Amino acid sequence: MAHEFDLIARHFSRPVPARFLGVGDDCALLPVDAGRQMAVSTDLLIEGRHFFAGVDPGALGHKALAVNLSDLAAMGAQPLACVLGLALPAVDHDWLGAFADGFYAMADRASCPLVGGDTTRSVSGITLSVTVFGQVDPVRALRRSAAQAGDDIWITGSLGSADIALKLLQQALPFDASLLAATRDALERPEPPLFFAQDLAGVAHAALDISDGLLQDLGHILAASHCGAELDYDSLPVHQALRGLPAAVQEAAVLGGGDVYELCFTAAADRRETVLALARRAGVRATRIGRITQGGDMIVRRADGGVVAVPSGGFDHFG
Amino acid sequence: MAHEFDLIARHFSRPVPARFLGVGDDCALLPVDAGRQMAVSTDLLIEGRHFFAGVDPGALGHKALAVNLSDLAAMGAQPLACVLGLALPAVDHDWLGAFADGFYAMADRASCPLVGGDTTRSVSGITLSVTVFGQVDPVRALRRSAAQAGDDIWITGSLGSADIALKLLQQALPFDASLLAATRDALERPEPPLFFAQDLAGVAHAALDISDGLLQDLGHILAASHCGAELDYDSLPVHQALRGLPAAVQEAAVLGGGDVYELCFTAAADRRETVLALARRAGVRATRIGRITQGGDMIVRRADGGVVAVPSGGFDHFG
Distance separating alpha carbons of residues A79 and A73, to the nearest angstrom: 8
Q: Is the Cα dihedral A105, A109, A110, A115 positive or negative?
A: positive
Cβ B1–A318 below 8 Å, yes or no? yes
- The band of A319, judged by pLDDT with boundaries at 50, 70 and 90, is very low
One domain for residues A224 and A297: yes
Tell me the shortest Cα–Cα distance from B107 to chain A, in angstroms.
18
Above 90 in pLDDT, residue A317? no
Of residues A80 and A123, more confidently modeled: A80
CATH number, domain of A34, equals: 3.30.1330.10
Structural domain of B24? 4-136
Distance separating alpha carbons of residues B307 and B304, to the nearest angstrom: 9
Q: Domain end: B112, B136, B160, which one?
A: B136
Is residue A314 included in any domain, yes or no? no
Is residue B233 included in any domain, yes or no? yes
Helices (H) and strands (E) in chain B, counts: 9, 11
Structural domain count, chain A: 2
Cα B147–chain centre separation: 20
One domain for residues B194 and B297: yes
One domain for residues B93 and B177: no
Among A297-306, B169-178, B183-192, the minimum mean pLDDT is found in A297-306
DSSP string covering chain A = ---HHHHHHHHS-----TT-B-TTSSSEEE---TT-EEEEEEEEEEBTTTB-TT--HHHHHHHHHHHHHHHHHHHTPEEEEEEEEEEESS--HHHHHHHHHHHHHHHHHHT--EEEEEEEE-SSS-EEEEEEEEEE-TTT---GGG--TT-EEEEES-BSHHHHHHHHHTTSS---HHHHHHHHHHHHS----HHHHHHHTTT-S-EEE-SS-HHHHHHHHHHHHT-EEEEEGGGS-B-GGGTTS-HHHHHIIIII------EEEEE-GGGHHHHHHHHHHHT--EEEEEEEESSS-EEEE-TTS-BPPPPP----TT-
- Overall average pLDDT of the B59-81 stretch: 96
Above 50 in pLDDT, residue B118? yes
Q: What is the model's pLDDT at position A312?
A: 41
Q: CA–CA distance from B212 to each of A82, A162, A165 (Å)? A: 24, 43, 44
Above 90 in pLDDT, residue A316? no
Above 60 in pLDDT, residue B105? yes
Tell me the shortest Cα–Cα distance from B244 to chain A, in angstroms.
34
Q: What is the mean pLDDT of chain B?
A: 91
Among A24-33, A60-69, A189-198, A305-314, the minimum mean pLDDT is found in A305-314
Inter-chain CB pairs, A–B, below 8 Å:
241
Distance separating alpha carbons of residues A134 and A128, to the nearest angstrom: 20
- A278-315 per-position pLDDT tens digit: 999 999 999 999 999 998 788 899 878 788 765 444 33
Tell me the shortest Cα–Cα distance from B181 to chain A, in angstroms.
28
Is residue B240 included in any domain, yes or no? yes
Distance separating alpha carbons of residues B85 and B48, to the nearest angstrom: 17
One domain for residues B107 and B202: no
One domain for residues A28 and A52: yes
- The band of A4, judged by pLDDT with boundaries at 50, 70 and 90, is low
Closest CA relative to residue B292, chosen from B261, B255, B267, B273: B267
- B38-67 per-position pLDDT tens digit: 999 999 999 998 999 999 999 999 999 999
One domain for residues B119 and B59: yes
Cβ A125–B121 below 8 Å, yes or no? no
Above 80 in pLDDT, residue B213? yes
At a CB cut-off of 8 Å and minimum separation 6, what does A31 contact?
A19, A20, B37, B38
One domain for residues A216 and A114: no
- Overall average pLDDT of the A226-251 stretch: 94
Q: What is the model's pLDDT at position A313?
A: 41
Q: What is the model's pLDDT at position A309?
A: 61
Q: What is the model's pLDDT at position B17?
A: 86
Distance separating alpha carbons of residues A306 and A108, to the nearest angstrom: 46
Q: CA–CA distance from B192 to each of B157, B158, B171, B197 (Å)? A: 9, 12, 27, 9
Is residue A33 included in any domain, yes or no? yes
One domain for residues B157 and B278: yes
Tell me the shortest Cα–Cα distance from A243 to chain B, in angstroms.
32
Q: Is the Cα dihedral A42, A46, A49, A50 positive or negative?
A: positive
Residue in B with minimal Cα distance to A52: B123
Residues of chain A with pLDDT > 90, as a percent, come to 76
The residues in B 189-208 lying below 8 A from A, measured between CB atoms, are 207-208
Is residue A90 included in any domain, yes or no? yes
Rg of chain A on CA atoms, in Å: 20
Cβ A316–B1 below 8 Å, yes or no? yes
Q: Is ipTM > 0.90 here? A: no
Residue in A with minimal Cα distance to B32: A37
Residue in B with minimal Cα distance to A221: B25
Q: Domain end: B97, B112, B136, which one?
A: B136
Q: What residues of B are in contact with residue A316 (Cβ under 8 Å)?
A: 1, 3-4
- The band of B309, judged by pLDDT with boundaries at 50, 70 and 90, is low
Chain A contact present for B271, CB below 8 A: no
Q: What is the model's pLDDT at position A310?
A: 59
Chain B contact present for A138, CB below 8 A: yes
Cβ B74–A27 below 8 Å, yes or no? yes
Residue in B with minimal Cα distance to A87: B44
- The band of B4, judged by pLDDT with boundaries at 50, 70 and 90, is low
Q: Which uninterrupted H or E stretch holds B65?
A: helix B57-75
CA atoms within 13 A on the CB side of A27: 32
Q: Domain end: B107, B136, B165, which one?
A: B136
- A44-75 per-position pLDDT tens digit: 999 998 999 999 999 999 999 999 999 999 99
Q: What is the value of pTM for the model shown? A: 0.90
Is residue B310 included in any domain, yes or no? no
CB atoms within 10 A of CB B232: 16
- Main-chain dihedrals φ then ψ at residue B153, nearest 5 degrees: -105, 130
Q: What is the model's pLDDT at position B319?
A: 31
Q: What is the dihedral of CA A77, A83, A89, A93, to 10 degrees?
A: 100
- The band of A244, judged by pLDDT with boundaries at 50, 70 and 90, is very high
Chain B contact present for A60, CB below 8 A: no
One domain for residues B289 and B154: yes
Above 50 in pLDDT, residue A201? yes
One domain for residues A161 and A296: yes
Is residue B318 included in any domain, yes or no? no
CA atoms within 13 A on the CB side of B35: 3
- Overall average pLDDT of the A182-196 stretch: 97
Among A10-24, A262-276, B103-117, the minimum mean pLDDT is found in A10-24
Distance separating alpha carbons of residues B262 and B264, to the nearest angstrom: 7
3-state secondary structure at position B153: strand
Is residue A189 included in any domain, yes or no? yes
Of B1, B50, B120, the CB nearest to A46: B120
CATH number, domain of A230, equals: 3.90.650.10
One domain for residues B250 and B154: yes
Cβ B75–A22 below 8 Å, yes or no? yes
- Overall average pLDDT of the B189-198 stretch: 97
Tell me the shortest Cα–Cα distance from A315 to chain B, in angstroms.
9
- The band of A148, judged by pLDDT with boundaries at 50, 70 and 90, is very high
Count of positions (residues) in chain A: 319
- Overall average pLDDT of the A142-155 stretch: 97
Q: What is the model's pLDDT at position A304?
A: 82
Among A18-27, A66-75, A119-128, A306-315, the minimum mean pLDDT is found in A306-315
- B240-276 per-position pLDDT tens digit: 999 999 999 999 999 999 999 999 999 999 999 999 9
Cβ A50–B120 below 8 Å, yes or no? yes
Q: What is the mean pLDDT of chain A?
A: 91
Tell me the shortest Cα–Cα distance from A302 to chain B, in angstroms.
30
Above 90 in pLDDT, residue B20? no
One domain for residues B131 and B151: no
Interface with A, mutate which of B10, B16, B27 (most A CBs under 10 A): B27
User: Measured at the alpha carbon of residue B13, what is the angle toward residues B12 and B14, in degrees to the nearest 5?
Assistant: 105
